[in-house]
């Protein structure tokens, strides 16, 4: 039985929640899963019970759910497809990194292995997508990077944007306009917890201030 798009979406959401939880054995609460997938809580419960029966997840009533080995492998392939497609759309098709997510969200469920490996080859086997998200390898491994964000990195130090943890097109366009897309260099000048803000000095000596919520979504590495 090959998984439906719906099943693939549940597995992918679970995979991403588990990566965020950082703990391999941790359970993802049903409410969080439901809102990640965009369904009512009861819908998620029903679906997860079915996935547990087919061995893709381990379900502990009232506690939460985690991927099985089989489920993890499947989810990694969905994520691999999603991110390779995004990279393809930007690099080969010339689309903007701010708008490829929605297309990839659909295409990830229908591209054949043949086609996805063709894309991978054309792109030279990239390790990250246009948002800096790591691309799982064909055997499902994914580099478990440990990032700083503009909220946690040292002040007055040259850093480089390497990843953006939000797919919202409006937010991505904002970052692009402010010279904050992956690859660009900058320094954090100051943080003001009362004002809930972070002051930056971007490439080209432009000084800007953004909120801490936004700052936490811009992941960086020290140069």
Residues at the interface with Mn ion (CB under 5 A): 86, 101, 129, 131, 133, 167
Interface pick for a second copy out of 111, 172, 214, 215 (rule CB under 8 A): 111
Residue numbers at the binding site for DNA (CB under 7 A): 4, 6-7, 29-32, 34, 38-50, 59, 61-62, 64
> Least distance in Å: CB of 107 to DNA?
18
Alpha-carbon radius of gyration of the chain: 19
Q: Rounded to whole angstroms, how far apart are CA atoms 124 and 126?
A: 6
With CA atoms as reference, report the closest residue to 218 among 178, 189, 194, 205: 178
CB 123 within 8 A of CB 116: no
Binding site partner of 154, from DNA, Mn ion, a second copy, none, Cβ cut-off 5-8 A by kind? none
Q: Cβ-count burial of 183 within 10 angstroms (0-12 exposed, 13-18 middle, 19+ buried)?
A: exposed
114 binds a second copy (CB under 8 A): yes
x/- contact string, 68-107, with a second copy (CB under 8 A)? ---------------------x--xxxx---x--xx--xx
Q: Toward Mn ion, which CB reaches closer, 1 or 110?
A: 110
With CA atoms as reference, report the closest residue to 101 among 84, 86, 119, 115: 86
Footprint of a second copy on this chain (CB under 8 A)? 89, 92-95, 99, 102-103, 106-107, 109-112, 114-115, 118-119, 122
């Amino acid at each position: 039985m090959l998984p439906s798009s719906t099943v693939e979406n549940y597995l992918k959401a679970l995979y991403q929640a588990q990566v965020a939880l950082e703990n391999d054995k941790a359970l993802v609460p049903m409410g969080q899963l439901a809102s990640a997938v965009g369904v009512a809580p009861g819908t998620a419960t029903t679906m997860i019970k079915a996935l547990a029966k087919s061995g893709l997840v381990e379900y502990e009533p009232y506690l939460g759910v985690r991927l099985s080995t089989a489920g993890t492998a499947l989810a990694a392939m969905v994520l691999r497809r999603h991110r390779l497609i995004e990279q393809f759309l930007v690099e080969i098709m010339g689309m903007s990194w701010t708008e490829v997510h929605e297309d990839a969200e659909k295409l990830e469920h229908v591209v054949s292995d043949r086609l996805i490996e063709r894309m991978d080859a054309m792109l030279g086997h990239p390790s990250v997508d246009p948002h800096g998200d790591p691309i799982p390898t064909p055997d499902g491994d994914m580099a478990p990077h440990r990032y700083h964000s503009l909220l946690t990195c040292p002040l007055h130090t040259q850093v480089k944007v390497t990843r953006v943890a939000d797919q919202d097109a409006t937010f991505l366009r904002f970052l692009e306009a402010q010279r904050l897309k992956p690859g660009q260099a900058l320094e954090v000048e100051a943080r003001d917890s009362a004002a809930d803000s972070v002051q930056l000095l971007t490439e080209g000596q432009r000084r800007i201030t953004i909120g801490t919520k936004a700052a936490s979504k811009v992941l960086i590495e020290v140069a």
